[in-house]
């Protein structure tokens, strides 16, 4: 009994719990006030709901996204309208968006290189590279690439690379947790900072809200580590609460970079087994393409206000790998609310529609838009093998319930859906025809495509793609293909209703 009381006390005293309680209380208060005065303002509420619905219909977002919000708003005028005002308006404050665009010009466009001459412009995948260049994301060759199909392998390489830093280290993660993994990284960061290496860290406030102390960034500062907590959570409801920094980036001296799907916590490297074997992935870059990661990090570092006056020192470092044998196309990119909204999804859709033989997708969560579902169905009906690999064991039961509700309609269109039997697959990647793909931080869901800041690396004909192809082959051998019969098995009425209810509010997932 004492242990139960101790655990309850620990849970109820966390900042995350208090934030949840305060938000719930504010929602209850809003509904209660509306109910009390419902006789007087019922017409006003109906008019407000209609106005919001018309506003959404005329917005620039997709029809699927519009429908996903209009239905709950009209069905539940109080809750639906409130949720849209808080979570549906996936925009950044105007002054921040203006600064973001200015930084894009200064950091990305001004450091643009000439297009690689030997890349065949007739290749069907070049249109994706051209599309990304339209958003100022440069394409590179002269970059060594390596793919890691397990976070443990990437972590070992990360530690080795961090020890080589001479001038600066940039880290940006959604979650940083007290753990063996963080202790090993932090020890190196402190040593490097003491030796005069510039060390900067960005972590997301919501991502770390129940993992790090509120003032942890001040402790890091004492060790010489500069730190920014992204989008600190407010105790009051606001429309920016849902805009999170979900990126995972490491940059070392502008020469070596990592992009991954995993955070800094022990579950990602299987030192804290909770969901069977945790499979994650990442990609290593060395050479010219790393300068794009440098630009992305500095853009986020200066998101709130101007910290740096001179960016050139971070780009004038001597590049390596000029004569590397890995001369495939490498193109890091990022997405997020505001200027880059849905960019990640556009890349995925472009890849699917460019496929001629096979599409393989790894994702831990699957809450697709109508456009993504249609792309998978059309590709499958065109004779292309579409394979979606999803975890057998999931860390979030409600998202798992919602995700699996889409499997039946996919399988009916001959899309192959697989369960990763060893446990939880947290990797986020897409491989097309075995020669082109993306590895990054985005899930197949509304949060990643609409409201969160994400990062990915588009690659064509690189060593990392060869290794990703091998990993896909090996992973599929550890999977079970879900049949239509398994999808139509009778389920309890309450479970079916809950899944349908979650679909009404799928933009929240």
Last residue of a domain, one of 276, 295, 326: 326
Among residues 215, 229, 162, 218, the alpha carbon closest in space to that of 193 is found at 162
What is the residue-averaged pLDDT of the chain? 83
Q: How far apart are CA 177 and CA 292, in angstroms?
A: 27
- Helix pair angle (63-75, 370-381), 10° resolution: 130
Burial 309-343 (b: 16+ CB within 10 A, else e): eebeebeebebbbeebebbbbbbbbbbbbbebbbb
DSSP state of 318: P
Give a yes or no: residue 357 inside a domain.
Answer: yes
Residue 302: inside a domain, yes or no? Answer: yes
- What is the C-alpha to C-alpha distance for residues 425 and 420, in angstroms, rounded to an integer? 7
Place of tokens 């005069």: 196
Give the per-residue pLDDT at 45: 63
**Same domain flag for 73 and 180:** no
User: Is residue 413 in a domain?
Assistant: yes
Q: What is the pLDDT of residue 117?
A: 53
Residues 104 and 239 in one domain: yes
How far CA 80 is from CA of 90, 149, 240, 367, 508, in Å, comes to 15, 41, 17, 19, 11
CB neighbourhood size of 408 (10 A): 14
Cα–Cα distance, 127 to 393 (Å, whole number): 37
Q: How high is the pLDDT of residue 192?
A: 97
Reported confidence tier of residue 5, pLDDT bands at 50, 70, 90? very low
Other CB atoms within 10 Å distance of the CB of residue 277: 15
Structural domains counted in the chain: 3
d(Cα 379, Cα 395) in Å, to the nearest integer?
A: 30
Domain boundary residue among 88, 103, 126?
88
Tell me the backbone φ, ψ of residue 387, rounded to 5 degrees: -120, 125
* Residue in the structure block whose two tokens are 């969160």: 452
In terms of domains, do 316 and 361 share one?
no
Q: What is the pLDDT of residues 287-296, one digit of tens each?
A: 999 999 999 9
Residue 150 to residues 358, 417, 442: CA-CA distances in angstroms?
23, 21, 17
Both 273 and 179 in one domain: the answer is: yes
Per-residue confidence band for 96, with pLDDT thresholds at 50, 70 and 90: low
* Cut 0.75: pTM above it: yes
103 and 80 together in one domain: no
Chain segment 373-398, per-residue pLDDT in tens: 999 999 999 999 999 999 999 988 88
Judge whether 120 lies within some domain: no
Question: What would the two tokens of residue 69 be?
Answer: 């919000």
Q: Quick one: tokens of 290?
A: 């790393």
Residues 65, 148: one domain? no
For 82, half-sphere exposure in the C-beta direction (CA atoms, 13 angstrom radius) is: 15
Residues 250 and 260: their CA atoms lie apart, in Å, by 9
Confidence bin at 124 (pLDDT 50/70/90): confident
Higher confidence at residue 29 or residue 357? 357
Listed residues 271, 293, 326: the one ending a domain: 326
Residue 118 lies in a domain: no
- 234 and 106 co-located in one domain: yes
**Is residue 170 helix, strand or coil?**
strand
473 and 370, same structural domain?
yes
Domain with 443, as residue range(s), is 343-508
Would 126 be classed as within a structural domain? no
Q: What CATH number corresponds to the domain at position 386? A: 3.30.870.10
Query: Same domain, yes or no, for 452 and 424?
Result: yes
H/E stretch holding 358:
strand 358-362
**119, part of any domain:** no
**Radius of gyration of the CA atoms of the chain, in A:** 23
Is a pLDDT exceeding 70 seen at residue 6? no
On whether residue 135 sits in a domain, the answer given is no
pLDDT in tens, 181-199: 999 999 999 999 999 999 9
Which residue numbers are catalytic? 246, 248, 253, 426, 428, 433
444 with 462, same domain? yes
* pLDDT of 158 over the 80 cut: yes
- Residue 399 and residue 480 in one domain: yes
Same-domain pairing of 415 and 312: no
């Amino acid at each position: 009994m004492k242990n139960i009381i101790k655990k309850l006390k620990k849970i109820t005293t966390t900042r995350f719990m208090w934030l949840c309680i305060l938000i719930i209380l504010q929602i209850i208060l809003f509904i209660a006030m509306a109910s009390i005065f419902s006789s007087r303002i019922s017409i006003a509420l109906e008019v407000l709901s209609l106005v919001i619905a018309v506003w959404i219909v005329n917005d620039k977002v997709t029809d699927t996204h519009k429908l996903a919000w209009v239905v709950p708003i009209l069905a539940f005028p109080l809750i639906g309208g409130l949720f849209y005002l808080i979570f549906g308006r996936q925009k950044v404050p105007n002054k921040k968006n203006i600064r973001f665009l200015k930084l894009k010009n200064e950091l990305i466009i001004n450091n643009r290189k000439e297009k690689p001459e030997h890349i065949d412009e007739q290749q069907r995948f070049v249109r994706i590279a051209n599309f990304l260049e339209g958003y100022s994301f440069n394409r590179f060759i002269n970059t060594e690439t390596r793919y890691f199909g397990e976070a443990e392998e990437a972590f070992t390489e990360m530690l080795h690379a961090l020890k080589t830093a001479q001038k600066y280290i940039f880290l940006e993660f959604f979650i940083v947790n007290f753990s063996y993994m963080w202790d090993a990284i932090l020890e190196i960061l402190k040593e490097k900072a003491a030796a005069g290496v510039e060390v900067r860290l960005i972590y997301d406030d919501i991502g770390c809200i129940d993992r790090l102390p509120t003032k942890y960034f001040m402790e890091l500062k004492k060790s010489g580590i500069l730190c920014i907590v992204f989008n600190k959570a407010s105790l009051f409801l606001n429309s920016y609460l849902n805009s999170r920094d979900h990126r995972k980036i490491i940059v070392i001296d502008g020469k070596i970079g990592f992009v991954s799907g995993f955070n800094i916590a022990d579950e990602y490297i299987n030192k804290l087994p909770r969901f069977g074997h945790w499979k994650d992935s990442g990609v290593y870059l060395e050479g010219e393409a790393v300068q794009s990661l440098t630009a992305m990090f500095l853009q986020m570092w200066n998101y709130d206000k101007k910290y740096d006056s001179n960016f050139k020192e971070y780009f004038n470092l001597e590049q390596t790998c000029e004569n590397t044998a890995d001369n495939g196309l490498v193109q890091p990119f990022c997405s997020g609310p505001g200027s880059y909204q849905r960019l990640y999804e556009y890349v995925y859709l472009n890849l699917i529609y460019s496929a001629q033989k096979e599409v393989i997708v790894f994702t831990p969560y699957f809450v697709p838009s109508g456009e993504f579902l249609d792309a998978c169905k059309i590709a499958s009906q065109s004779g292309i093998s579409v394979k979606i690999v999803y975890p057998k064991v999931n860390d979030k039961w409600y998202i798992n319930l919602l995700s699996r509700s889409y499997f039946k309609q996919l399988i009916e269109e001959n899309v192959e859906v697989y369960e990763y039997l060893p446990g939880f697959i947290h990797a986020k990647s897409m491989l097309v025809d075995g020669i082109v793909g993306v590895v990054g931080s985005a899930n197949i869901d509304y949060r990643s495509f609409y409201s969160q800041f994400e990062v990915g690396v588009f690659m064509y004909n690189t060593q990392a793609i060869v290794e990703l192809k091998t990993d896909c082959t090996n992973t599929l051998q550890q999977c079970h293909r879900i049949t239509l019969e398994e999808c139509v098995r009778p389920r309890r009425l309450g479970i079916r209703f809950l899944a349908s209810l979650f679909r009404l509010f799928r933009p929240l997932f």
